[in-house]
Amino acid sequence: MVLLSGVAAVCLWPIQAGAEDPFTAPLAPSHNLYGMPGLIDMPTADMSPDAQLTTTVGHFAGTTRASLSFQILPRLTGSFRYSALAGYVPDNYDLSTYYDRSFDLRYQLVEEGDLRPAIAVGLRDFIGTGLYGGEYIVATKGIGDKLRVTAGLGWGRLGSHGSIGSTGTRPSELLGEGGIPTYDRWFRGDVAPFGGISYQVTERLAVSAEYSSDAYEPERGISPISEYGNTEPALFDRKSSLNFGIDYRFKNGNQLSVYSLYGDTIGAQLTLSTNPRYANTPTGLEKAPAPIIPRQRASLNDLGWSTDDTQINSAKRTLRAALEGDGLAYQNLSLSPREATLQIRNPRYSAEPQAIGRAARQMARVLPASVEVFHIIPTSKGMPLANITIKRSDLEALEHAPAEALLERVAVTDAAGLGLGQEAGLPARSSLSLAPYLTFSVFDPDNPIRIDTGLRLSGSYFVTPGLELSGSVTHKLAGNLDSVTREIPSNLPRVRTDYAEYSRQGDTAIEHLTLSHFGRPGKDLYSRVTAGYLETMYAGISGEVLWKPVDSRLALGAEVNHVKQRDFDQKFGLREYETTTGHLSAYYDFGNGFHGQVDAGRYLAGDIGATFSLDREFSNGWRIGAYATFTDVSAEEYGEGSFDKGIRLTIPMSWALGKPSRRDNTVTLQSLTRDGGARVNVRDRLYQRVRDYHQPELNKEWGRVWR
C-alpha cells in the first residue's frame, strides 16, 4: 500500500488535463473505493481513456485500500489492489491488521450511444483470497451533459445484500494462500441489484449517490474469513444501503473525494492519474538539429579528395566533433568515392530514429559531395545492430517533407560482418558514477513495505568494444530490510527467501562484478557471455544466444546459467548451494505496442516451468506489463500467493524532463518473494538491447528522424 502511494507520488507525474491540448490527456472518470471507474463503492460501466494509469488511496472504518489500475485497451481495464484492515483480527491470526492482495478486470461489452447505455462486465478479486470477490454486469448512461445514471446486478460481495434470486451455489470459504483464479464461483450464488447517479455541479465539483448491494459481512464480524473463523468486534455498523459522495477535481486532473458510507462512517480517497500516451512536459527542448546543405551540382563528381589522406582524416575529425556535439559517440568511418559507412553509439536519444537522423544530417554537412550513399551502423556493447542505408539526395530532397516519405526510401538490413570496430587512437570507453540507491520488499504482513537506501558506486571499462568489465558496490545508510523476523516457510531450496539475511550482513556489499563479452556469431545472431558475481545472491557464468532478424516481429533466444549462491555478506565468499538454470525464450511484437514473451526452462530451485509476460509499450519509452510463472511446484509447496506473478512499470526520464535521455526507472510490484519460479538476475540480456534498431521498432518512432 505504501509502495503504491510512493509510485503515485514519485513516478506517476500528474499532467494537465484537457483533451483539446495535444500534449495532455483527456479527463478520466471518477474512481470508486476499489480503484476502478465507479461511483462510491459500486462500479459503473465507464472506461478511462486508453492507456490511463491511475492510483488511488482510500480509507474508511479502519480499512485502507491502495490500487493501481491501467486501461489496457479502450474497453478493457485491469487493477491491482492492496488492502489493510486495521483491527480485523480473525481467529488464529496473530497480527492486528489483516492484509489482502487482489486483482480486478472489467470489459465494456457495449459502448455508450445516443440512446443506448454503456454496458460492462467485471470480475473483482478474481485472483486472490476472495475476500472482496464479486462479479457484476452494469449499465451507465449519460442524460444531458451533467447527469449519469448507473444500474447493475452483482454476485458475491455485490450480491450479498438485497438478493432478488440465485444462479446456483457459490463456495463461501476464502482461499488461505490466495493467488489462484476463483473461476468456480464466478457469477454463481445470490444476485442483487445496485445503482446510483452522479451529477457534475461545476467543472471541478461533482456529487454522487448510490444504493449498495454489498452487505460487508466479514467487516461486520458475521461471516468467516478463510480457515480463521469469525472476527470481532465489527469494523463498522451497516445501518443503511445508501452512500453519498463529493468529488473535487484539481486543475491537474487529480481528484479528492469525501464520502458518507452506510449511515455509519465517513471515508476519503485521493486519486492520481497520468497517461503515457501524452507528454508530461513540452518536448523538443534539446537544441535544433543541423540543417542539411544541398550540394552544388558541379562538385558531385569531384573525387580528388579520395586519394588525399589529409582530407579524409580531416573529415573524420570534423564528423566526430559534430556527432559529439549532438550527443552521439563516433566509433569509426569508412569512406569510398560514392559511399560512406559510419559506426556510432547512441548514449542520449531514447528515440533511435532521432539518433539516426542527426547522424545522417552531420554526414551530409561534413562528407565530400561525391558521397551519395550513407550506411549508418548503430552499436550496443560493441555489437553492430543494423545497417541503415540512406541516400544523400533523399535527405536533401525530403528534409522538409513528412518523415514517412524518407522512411519509404530507407533500407534496414542485418549488420553481421559489417562492423568497423573502433577507430585506432580513440580512448577506451569507461564510466564511473556515485549515486543513491533504493531497494525494497513489499507485502510482508508484519510490515507492508521495507526499504534499504544508501550509495552505489558503479563503474565499467571496455577492454575492447565488445568486452566489458563492470561492477558496483553499495553501502547501506538506512533501512529496515534486515528487520524481518517472520520465518518464511519453504519446501524448496532457499534461493530467494533469505533476502533479509543478505540485507542484515551486507551493509557494504559487492552488488556485481563481471566480465562480459558481446558478439555477432552469424547473420541474425547475437551472443553474450557473462562471468563473475552476477547479482547480489549468485555468482557464476551465464551464456545467451539470440536470433533476431532486423525485419521480424519474432525473436528466439536461449540462456544457460551455472551459478553458486553467494555469502550473505556479499563479498567474495560462496555458499554450498549450486545449480544450473536455463531457458528457451520466444519474443513477439503483436503490434499496437503489445509485446509478449515466453521463457520456458529450469529455475533456481530446480523447478521446471514457464514465465509468460505481456507488456504494452509506448513510443515515448513508457512500458507497463505483467508476468506470471507456472512451474511444477504446487501451490501448497510455493506457499502464500500460490505462484510467482507481478506488475512492472518503466517510466522514461525523457518523458518527465522533455529532453532526450536513455535513462529510465523500472518499478516491479511482485506479489511476494518466494523460492518457486525464481531466475538469476543477469544484466544486459540481449533482446532489449538488440530490437531498438530493428523493425518494427524503428517505424514506431520514425516521426522523430527530423528532430
What's residue 108's pLDDT?
98
* 141-159 average pLDDT score: 96
User: Within 13 Å of residue 269, how many CA atoms lie on the same side as its CB?
Assistant: 33
pLDDT at residue 19 greater than cutoff 50: no
* 563-582 average pLDDT score: 97
Grouping H, G, I as helix, E, B as strand and the rest as coil, residue 177 is coil
Task: Mark whether 560 and 590 lie in a shared domain.
Answer: yes
Examine the fold and report which residue of 274, 309, 330 is the final residue of a domain before the chain moves on.
274
The verdict on residue 100 lying in a domain is: yes
Task: Mark whether 258 and 398 lie in a shared domain.
Answer: no
Beta bridge partners of 666: 650
What's residue 225's pLDDT?
45
What's residue 633's pLDDT?
86
In sequence order, which residues have a C-beta less than 8 Å from that of residue 131 and are 6 or more positions away? 83, 100, 102, 125, 174, 218, 225
What's residue 303's pLDDT?
78
What's residue 6's pLDDT?
43
**Cβ neighbour number for residue 137 with a 10 Å cutoff:** 18
Task: Mark whether 416 and 386 lie in a shared domain.
Answer: yes
Q: Are strands 329-335 and 339-345 parallel, antiparallel or unpaired?
A: antiparallel
Given the C-alpha cell 458475491, which residue does it identify? 156
Q: Give dist(CA 93, CA 113) in Å, integer.
A: 50
Task: Transcribe 578-640 into DSSP letters.
Answer: EEEEEEEEEEEEEETTEEEEEEEEE-TTS-EEEEEEEEEE-TTS-EEEEEEEEESS-HHHH-T
What's residue 91's pLDDT?
59
Beta bridge partners of 181: 127
More confident residue, 177 or 527: 527
Nearest alpha carbon to residue 230 among 218, 244, 216, 239: 218
What's residue 283's pLDDT?
67
Q: Give dist(CA 361, CA 58) in Å, integer.
A: 53
Q: Is residue 55 within a helix (H) or strand (E), and if so which, with residue range? A: strand 53-60
pLDDT at residue 22 greater than cutoff 90: no
Nearest alpha carbon to residue 448 among 161, 64, 84: 84
What's residue 175's pLDDT?
63
Given the C-alpha cell 533479509, which residue does it identify? 500
Task: Mark whether 263 and 307 lie in a shared domain.
Answer: no
What's residue 78's pLDDT?
96
Task: Mark whether 349 and 447 lie in a shared domain.
Answer: no
Q: Which amino acid would we find at residue 257? A: S
- CATH code of 307's domain: 3.30.300
Query: Is residue 262 exposed (0-12), middle (13-18) or buried (19+ Cβ within 10 Å)?
Result: buried
More confident residue, 8 or 658: 658
The verdict on residue 383 lying in a domain is: yes
Give 203-259 pLDDT, tens digit per residue. Answer: 999 999 999 999 998 888 765 444 444 445 578 899 999 999 999 999 988 999 999
Nearest alpha carbon to residue 646 among 616, 621, 612: 612
* 619-626 average pLDDT score: 91
More confident residue, 672 or 192: 192
Q: How far is CA 558 from the centre of its chain?
A: 23
* 325-348 average pLDDT score: 96
Task: Mark whether 149 and 20 lie in a shared domain.
Answer: yes
The verdict on residue 130 lying in a domain is: yes
Residue 16: pLDDT band (50, 70, 90) is: very low
Q: Which residue blocks in 399-538 are alpha helix, DSSP H? A: 403-407, 499-505
Residue 92: pLDDT band (50, 70, 90) is: low
8 A C-beta contact, residue 131 and residue 218: yes
What's residue 174's pLDDT?
63
Q: Give dist(CA 415, CA 396) in Å, integer.
A: 25
Task: Mark whether 657 and 520 lie in a shared domain.
Answer: yes
What's the structural domain count of the chain? Answer: 3
Nearest alpha carbon to residue 103 among 75, 142, 72, 133: 133
Which range is least confidently modeled, 71-80, 368-377, 480-489, 606-615? 480-489
Give counts: helices (H), strands (E), the chain. 10, 32
* 355-383 average pLDDT score: 96
**Cβ neighbour number for residue 486 with a 10 Å cutoff:** 12
Task: Mark whether 377 and 448 lie in a shared domain.
Answer: no
Question: Can you give the pTM of this predicted structure?
Answer: 0.91
The verdict on residue 706 lying in a domain is: no
Grouping H, G, I as helix, E, B as strand and the rest as coil, residue 316 is helix
8 A C-beta contact, residue 86 and residue 233: no
What's residue 4's pLDDT?
47
The verdict on residue 42 lying in a domain is: yes
Query: Is residue 489 exposed (0-12), middle (13-18) or buried (19+ Cβ within 10 Å)?
Result: exposed
What's residue 18's pLDDT?
38
Nearest alpha carbon to residue 344 among 375, 319, 378, 318: 378
Grouping H, G, I as helix, E, B as strand and the rest as coil, residue 362 is helix
The verdict on residue 217 lying in a domain is: yes
Nearest alpha carbon to residue 407 among 462, 352, 487: 352
Task: Mark whether 101 and 176 lie in a shared domain.
Answer: yes
What's residue 90's pLDDT?
62
8 A C-beta contact, residue 492 and residue 637: yes
Task: Mark whether 260 and 342 lie in a shared domain.
Answer: no
pLDDT at residue 635 greater than cutoff 50: yes
Examine the fold and report which residue of 243, 274, 305 is the final residue of a domain before the chain moves on.
274
Task: Mark whether 149 and 131 lie in a shared domain.
Answer: yes
Task: Mark whether 587 and 485 lie in a shared domain.
Answer: yes
Q: Give dist(CA 548, CA 161) in Å, integer.
A: 56
What's the Cα-to-Cα distance from 63 to each of 158, 222, 269, rounded to whole Å?
A: 18, 17, 12
More confident residue, 122 or 655: 122
Give 475-513 pLDDT, tens digit per residue. Answer: 999 988 887 777 777 788 999 988 888 988 999 999 999
Nearest alpha carbon to residue 496 among 597, 581, 596, 572: 581
Residue 654: pLDDT band (50, 70, 90) is: confident
What's residue 637's pLDDT?
75
The verdict on residue 516 lying in a domain is: yes
Beta bridge partners of 580: 562
What's residue 42's pLDDT?
98
* 525-550 average pLDDT score: 98
The verdict on residue 702 lying in a domain is: no
User: In three state form, how does the secondary structure of 56-121 look?
Assistant: EEEEECCEEEEEEEEEEECCEEEEEEEEEEECCCCCCCCCCEEEEEEEEEEEEEECCCCCCCEEEE
Residue 358: pLDDT band (50, 70, 90) is: very high
pLDDT at residue 1 greater than cutoff 60: no
Give 415-461 pLDDT, tens digit per residue. Answer: 999 999 999 999 999 999 999 999 888 887 777 888 889 999 999 99
- For residue 219, what are the domain limits? 2-274
- CATH code of 103's domain: 2.40.160.40
Percent of the chain with pLDDT over 90: 69
What's residue 384's pLDDT?
98
